[in-house]
């Protein structure tokens, strides 16, 4: 025991002097990060939650990341494979990555192509319950051509083959460490899942699940001068407001994540001068999903399905347009989101090449026009001020998850709709239930037993193909498929499906962009959704912290190796 202590001490001394000799790794001391949702596991394949993937992103890395502008940046490779440099085959079915030589794991062993192949096997194992499986969709084979070359083969031409091993959700884990954790054994490897070896700038020293992670600089990190911080605390718990307070008001912490609180409060906190609020935009859009099927409880099993028949009034395009026109998106953005929200009329507002401008008319609220539209279509106001036609009253049940900003948005929208003679009943559901997808609950967002529901969706990375496929006929949630589907509006249009199929076979970026825009415009003009806000991510860091580059397309901590004081 004593001998061991002495040896450890000696090793530490050597390590310390080595550090001192090699520029300034660890020179800036300690960094405090607060994520108000605590990390529960450091293996992103077993938990896809943002808090978990980002906590792990300081330790384990993918081959390439997206930078804050959405460009791919090589991390564990020297260059991004393309068709031009021969990394992607002409028929678009294979991609070959060449790993950078000399990279070490934090335990000192070399990083090789075997680790990459193992990671694919680990996630694609049918019993593992890997949460990032979609990253590997269409992959038929991952093989190591030599120690530093990995070739991925797809079952069909992949116009965008950067799913596997790119971005925060698809990092590489060490084959030697996880060898016994594959498939059904994955959950039993607590030690491995709580302390993976990585190639990143930090390594885990202590992990308390759902509470706090302690890291120290990885002595084997590839850049000898980085990271600038010797140790990091990644604390979890509380709520967004208290996290903001800890950075902006008390200065106890250096970085706080996801501060979705009332912008007035955030501005007031930031006025204290201890820190700065930063934001960036990804692809998230807060939208209203319009139920085109009939949600009446009288229909029993056919409730909110296409078999149950069309919605009594939301299938009328005039009504949907009027509902959209009555909303002041600028005000919603200002009240609920501040710097972290922009009004939008598109469900696909980013990246820029995919953003359509054809629907921007909705950016201007026009209650009078909306009223005129409804008057013209024969929706006359009754004695209670609510419009009706042929015995159908414009009465809407509007549901969303419980969240202060969403309830404010609901209140505002209800008032505007009241002004055009539409009655609204509000309903908010606990997020764990709403997004939980439990078969027996009537309150899930998939069942949509309401007329309109509101939530945010997005897609990771920069390629919208899978996201746009969400609104094809085959993706409608029904009792037959256990409500597993992402086409909440129950929108079914052969024209749209044809465009989606065409996109799957198109590889030229400009053509893909044109198709995506056409699909977006179709969805908007047919009124399957009413987009409200293009949402950004908002975080805060203390004034002493430098090098933070807010990133919505990858981990917010993607460049933590470059942070300094």
Q: How many residues bind another protein (CB under 8 A)?
A: 96
Phi, psi of 242 (to 5 degrees): -70, -30
Which of 238, 479, 504, 547 touches another protein by CB under 8 A? 238
Rounded CA separation 152/174 (Å)? 18
**376 is an interface residue for another protein by CB under 8 A:** no
**86 is an interface residue for another protein by CB under 8 A:** no
Q: Which is nearer to another protein, 75 or 416 (CB)?
A: 416
The residues pairing with 126 across neighbouring beta strands, listed in sequence order, are none
Span of 4-12, 57-65, 205-213, 359-367 interacting with another protein by CB under 8 A: 205-213
Span of 7-15, 359-367, 419-427, 529-537 interacting with another protein by CB under 8 A: 419-427
Q: Which is nearer to another protein, 398 or 563 (CB)?
A: 398
**What is the total residue count of the chain?**
565
**491 is an interface residue for another protein by CB under 8 A:** no
- Taking the complex as a whole, how short is the minimal distance between the CB of residue 483 and another protein, in angstroms? 8
Q: Which is nearer to another protein, 45 or 97 (CB)?
A: 45
Query: CB-based contacts of 114: which residues, under 8 Å, 6+ apart?
Result: 144, 147, 175
254-273 residues in contact with another protein (CB under 8 A) are: 261-262, 264-265, 268
Task: For the beta carbon of residue 362, count every other beta carbon within 10 angstroms.
Answer: 20
Query: CB-based contacts of 298: which residues, under 8 Å, 6+ apart?
Result: none
320-349 residues in contact with another protein (CB under 8 A) are: 331, 335
Q: Which is nearer to another protein, 156 or 190 (CB)?
A: 190
Q: x/- site string to another protein, residues 272 to 301, per CB under 8 A?
A: -------------------------x----
Q: x/- site string to another protein, residues 144 to 183, per CB under 8 A?
A: ----------------------------------------
Q: Which is nearer to another protein, 457 or 493 (CB)?
A: 457
Tokens standing for 456?
């945010």
Phi, psi of 493 (to 5 degrees): -140, 115
Which of 435, 501, 543, 546 touches another protein by CB under 8 A? 435
**Cβ–Cβ under 8 Å, residues 463 and 71:** no
Span of 48-56, 349-357, 382-390, 495-503 interacting with another protein by CB under 8 A: 48-56
Task: For the beta carbon of residue 415, count every other beta carbon within 10 angstroms.
Answer: 11
Which of 10, 176, 208, 225 touches another protein by CB under 8 A? 208
**490 is an interface residue for another protein by CB under 8 A:** no
- Taking the complex as a whole, how short is the minimal distance between the CB of residue 208 and another protein, in angstroms? 6
Rounded CA separation 166/64 (Å)? 5
Q: Is 39 left (phi over 0), alpha (psi -120 to 50) or beta?
A: beta
Per-residue three-class SS string for 242-274: HHHHHHHCCCCCCEECCCCCCHHHHHHHHCCCC
**437 is an interface residue for another protein by CB under 8 A:** yes
**214 is an interface residue for another protein by CB under 8 A:** yes
Decide the pairing of beta strands 149-154 and 341-343. Answer: unpaired
- Taking the complex as a whole, how short is the minimal distance between the CB of residue 339 and another protein, in angstroms? 17
Which of 245, 287, 490, 541 touches another protein by CB under 8 A? 245
- Taking the complex as a whole, how short is the minimal distance between the CB of residue 232 and another protein, in angstroms? 12
Q: Which is nearer to another protein, 107 or 435 (CB)?
A: 435
Which of 100, 109, 134, 506 touches another protein by CB under 8 A? 134
Rounded CA separation 169/555 (Å)? 9
| Cα 35 to Cα 27, 40, 55, 323, distances in angstroms | 24, 12, 9, 37
Q: Which is nearer to another protein, 77 or 259 (CB)?
A: 259
Where do we find the tokens 């400009």? 510
Q: Is 528 left (phi over 0), alpha (psi -120 to 50) or beta?
A: alpha
Where do we find the tokens 């696909």? 348
Cis status of the peptide bond prior to 547, with omega within 30 of 0: no
Rounded CA separation 23/304 (Å)? 64
Rounded CA separation 149/97 (Å)? 6
- Taking the complex as a whole, how short is the minimal distance between the CB of residue 432 and another protein, in angstroms? 4
449-478 residues in contact with another protein (CB under 8 A) are: 455-460, 466, 477
**393 is an interface residue for another protein by CB under 8 A:** no
Which of 14, 16, 411, 480 touches another protein by CB under 8 A? 411
Which of 242, 296, 502, 564 touches another protein by CB under 8 A? 242
């Amino acid at each position: 025991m004593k001998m061991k202590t002495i040896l450890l001490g000696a090793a530490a001394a050597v390590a310390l002097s080595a550090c001192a000799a090699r520029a300034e790794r660890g020179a800036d001391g300690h960094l405090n990060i607060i994520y108000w949702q605590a990390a529960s596991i450091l293996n992103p394949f077993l938990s896809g939650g943002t808090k978990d993937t980002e906590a792990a992103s300081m330790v384990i890395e993918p081959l390439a990341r997206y930078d804050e502008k959405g460009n791919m940046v090589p991390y564990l490779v020297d260059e991004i494979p393309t068709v031009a440099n021969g990394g992607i085959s002409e028929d678009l079915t294979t991609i070959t990555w060449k790993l950078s030589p000399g990279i070490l794991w934090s335990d000192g062993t070399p990083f090789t192509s075997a680790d990459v192949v193992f990671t694919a096997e680990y996630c694609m194992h049918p019993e593992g319950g890997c949460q990032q499986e979609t990253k590997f969709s269409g992959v038929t084979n991952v093989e190591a051509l030599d120690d530093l070359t990995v070739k991925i083969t797809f079952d069909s031409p992949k116009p965008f083959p950067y799913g596997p091993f790119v971005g925060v959700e698809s990092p590489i884990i060490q084959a030697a460490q996880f060898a016994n954790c594959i498939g059904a054994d994955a959950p039993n490897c607590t030690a491995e899942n709580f302390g993976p070896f990585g190639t990143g700038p930090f390594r885990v020293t202590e992990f308390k699940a759902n509470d706090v992670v302690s890291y120290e600089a990885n002595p084997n990190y590839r850049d000898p001068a980085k990271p600038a911080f010797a140790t990091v605390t990644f604390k979890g718990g509380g709520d967004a407001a208290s996290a903001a307070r800890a950075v902006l008001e008390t200065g106890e912490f250096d970085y706080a994540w996801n501060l979705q609180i009332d912008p007035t409060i955030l501005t007031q906190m930031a006025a204290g001068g201890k820190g700065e609020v930063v934001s960036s935009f990804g692809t998230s859009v807060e939208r209203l999903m319009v139920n085109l099927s009939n949600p009446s409880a009288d229909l029993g099993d056919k409730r909110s399905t296409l078999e149950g028949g069309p919605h009594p009034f939301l299938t009328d395009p005039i009504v949907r347009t009027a509902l959209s026109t009555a909303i002041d998106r600028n005000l919603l953005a200002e009240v609920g989101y501040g710097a972290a929200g922009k009004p939008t009329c598109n469900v696909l507002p980013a990246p820029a090449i995919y953003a359509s401008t054809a629907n921007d008319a909705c950016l201007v609220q026009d209650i009078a026009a909306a009223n005129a539209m409804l008057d013209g279509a024969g929706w006359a106001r009754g004695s209670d001020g609510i419009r009706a036609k042929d015995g159908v009253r414009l009465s809407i049940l509007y549901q969303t998850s419980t969240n202060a900003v969403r309830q404010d948005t609901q209140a505002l929208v209800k008032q505007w709709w009241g002004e055009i003679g539409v009655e609204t009943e509000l309903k908010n559901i606990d997020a764990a239930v709403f997004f939980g997808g439990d078969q027996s609950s009537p309150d899930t967002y998939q069942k949509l037993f309401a007329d309109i529901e509101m939530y945010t969706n997005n897609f990771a990375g920069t390629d919208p193909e899978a996201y746009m496929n969400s609104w094809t006929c085959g993706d409608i949630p029904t009792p037959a498929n256990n409500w597993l589907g992402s086409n909440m509006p129950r929108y079914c249009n052969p024209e749209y499906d044809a465009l989606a199929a065409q996109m799957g076979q198109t590889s030229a970026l400009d053509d893909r962009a044109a198709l995506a825009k056409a699909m977006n415009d179709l969805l908007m003009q047919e009124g399957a959704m009413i987009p409200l806000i293009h949402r950004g991510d908002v975080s805060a860091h203390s004034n002493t912290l430098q090098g933070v580059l807010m990133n919505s397309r990858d981990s917010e901590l993607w460049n933590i190796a470059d942070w300094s004081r």
